[in-house]
Structure 1
Amino acid sequence: MMSEQPAAVKLIGWFGSPYAHRAEVALRLKGVSYELIMEDLSNKSDLLLKHNPVHQKVPVLLHGDRPGICESLVIVEYVDEAFDGPSILPSDPLARAAARFWASFMDTEFRESMWMALWADGEAQAAGAMETKAKLTLIEGQLTEGKRFFGGDTIGYLDIALSGIAHWIGVFEEIAGVRLLTEEEHPTLCRWAKEYTGDETVRECLPDKDRVVAALAPRKELYVSIAKALTGHK
């Protein structure tokens, strides 16, 4: 009798997406073989539109003939539960809840202030920069002294959720000409960022910074226009 073959895993992503990176790291940490399907975001495929008709964004995880799984952190949790391998989320319920809280903080409150700090101008930019640095201090406070990563000595859920700080914030700083994360103000967070980006599993799916800068720099005017719109609503 033949043994049942594991369902194929495919990930729809884009090389410069910090959200697709989250999904890739989770799959690699669990040792899951997968096919990476690179999406053309200027001409979205029928596959993407079929499996993420609501937001039409990457990443989307396809596992066998199941419906597509959308949203990066939802994918990370699914991968943690669906596949064998080292746990990504903390086992302790309180630690798990805290990790989810700070992941949400990253994707809502931090992202909004960072956007203003990078792309607004005048008083709005100054206020955004001050707020972003204060939030970086709050995030830095979650790093336990003597531990390499947020979850301990190995990469976990919160490290993945905050990976945009480790790599992509530098991309946007270069395009915008603004410095937000510095060793003088946040030495522990900068140390963590080096640990994260230097990890062997992470490096396997971490896009080259110069390539990401080249790909995103032409969008600068769009980013600025969005910041202006946000300023008008405040």
Structure 2
Amino acid sequence: MWVVYRTSGEEQEKAIEDTLEMLKVMEEDGLGRDNKFFGGDNIGIVDIAFGQIAQWLGVIEEVVGVKMLEAHKFPRLHAWIKNFKEAPVIKENLPDRDEMLVSFKRRREMLLPSSQD
């Protein structure tokens, strides 16, 4: 997902395909049908490892202008994100989304040549 953020053009298109494939694997193989989290009903190490998706992917999508994590394609991941972000220990420690947007936009402008989007 970070390659989507750091690139443009054909390289970004390939990175989007790779990210969608990763999300598909997480959706189909990582989350059980009735699991609230990856390990069941409680947050575990896998949830923490994938926690960046819960907050950061949405910011990256907005900065780049590409929607990858669509609810109709990834309903279990959407439910997981909601559950994860609502857990008190997570909710209290999430970075401010608006501040992330400003920072990510500024950083992306520095990463990409000015002739690219």
**TM tier, shorter chain?**
0.7 to 0.9
How many residues are aligned here?
A: 112
Structure 1 runs, 4 residues or longer, greater than 6 Å off: none
Task: Give me the whole-angstrom Cα distance separating, in 2, the residues matched to 1:215 and 1:117.
Answer: 16
Which of 128, 131, 151 is 2:18 aligned to?
Answer: 131
Q: Partner of 1:144 in structure 2?
A: 32
Tell me if 1:215 matches 2:90. Answer: no
- Structure 1 stretches of 5 or more lacking a match? 1-113, 226-234
Tell me which of the two structures has the higher relative contact order, counting C-alpha pairs closer than 8 angstroms and 6 or more residues apart: 2
The verdict on how the C-alpha distance between 1:185 and 1:205 changes in structure 2, with shifts beyond 3 A counting, is: same
Larger gyration radius, structure 1 or structure 2: 1
Which of 57, 60, 63 is 1:175 aligned to?
Answer: 63
Task: Give me the whole-angstrom Cα distance separating, in 1, the residues matched to 2:75 and 2:5.
Answer: 21
What is the identity, as a one-letter code, of the residue corresponding to 1:121?
Answer: S
1:216 shift after superposition: 2.6
> Comparing both structures, which one devotes a greater share of its residues to strand?
1
Task: Give me the whole-angstrom Cα distance separating, in 2, the residues matched to 1:116 and 1:125.
Answer: 7
Task: Give me the whole-angstrom Cα distance separating, in 2, the residues matched to 1:202 and 1:124.
Answer: 33
Q: 1:154-193 counterparts in 2 under 5 A?
A: 154-193=42-81
Q: Partner of 1:153 in structure 2?
A: 41
Task: Give me the whole-angstrom Cα distance separating, in 1, the residues matched to 2:47 and 2:6.
Answer: 25
RMSD across aligned C-alpha pairs, in angstroms?
1.5
1:115 shift after superposition: 2.6
What is the identity, as a one-letter code, of the residue corresponding to 2:38?
Answer: F
- Structure 2 stretches of 5 or more lacking a match? none
1:138 shift after superposition: 0.8
1:177 shift after superposition: 1.3
1:206 shift after superposition: 0.9
Q: 1:53-132 counterparts in 2 under 5 A?
A: 114-132=1-19
Q: Partner of 2:83 in structure 1?
A: 195
What is the identity, as a one-letter code, of the residue corresponding to 1:132?
Answer: T
